[in-house]
Structure 1
């Protein structure tokens, strides 16, 4: 799940997720595309009405909505996002999410540690 350079055919991965038992039974489904080196990337498909209960991530996150619409909620605000929108959230912020329509999202979770490549020289 970790290599110096990776690429993913998201359309193919979404098709596979939608063929799996969880999706056919009406539940959300996900696959971890990348894990390690301070960054995890998850492809998530959600049915309309699916909810991710309130939780906090161990590092900053981003959620890129590829299809459908989602509602992202914190104690401070509520955002709705659709295709090609990006939401970011700081580490430790409690949040929840709900699919307003069938949705496809790419979720990136950073460890919060600075990568040596990101350090100015």
Structure 2
């Protein structure tokens, strides 16, 4: 398992135990140029051991185009509202909602309000 630092942060991407102050990370993402210019912004908090965790901040109206992940995913909405769409369903989700879908499931995400989400992507997984 790698413990190389996240570029520019000095912190490792993996390790036996990690802890993140999500409020601090969100504030930093919102302060960066990409978000100030109206684009979504994200940071990989953890990568390794078969799992990635990404913190994502989106402006209202922003979206992630339809795509599929190689493993099962979960998306936890911490702030705002998003629309999560698969070919067979659409779900609007707000704070403290957790969504999950299978590996390879095509999906898209649209921010209905300025939003903060934590996305977990597992490697592999059965369909």
TM band (smaller chain): over 0.9
Calculate the TM-score normalised by the size of structure 2.
0.88
* Alignment gaps of 5+ in structure 2: 1-12
Which residue is equivalent to 1:54? 66
In the TM superposition, what is the alpha-carbon distance from 1:112 to its structure 2 partner?
Answer: 2.5
Which residue is equivalent to 1:88? 100
Residue 17 of structure 1: which of 23, 29, 36 is its match? 29
Contact 2:72 2:122 in 1 (8 A): yes
Q: Residues 50-99 of structure 1, C-alpha deviation per residue, up to 9 Å, x if partnerless?
A: 01000000100000000000000011000010000000010000000100
Q: What is the CA–CA distance in structure 2 between the aligned matches of 1:6 and 1:17, rounded to whole Å?
A: 19
* Alignment gaps of 5+ in structure 1: 115-121
What is the Cα-based RMSD across aligned positions, in Å? 1.1
1:70 aligns with 2:82: yes
Contact 2:72 2:125 in 1 (8 A): no
Q: What is the CA–CA distance in structure 2 between the aligned matches of 1:112 and 1:82, rounded to whole Å?
A: 28
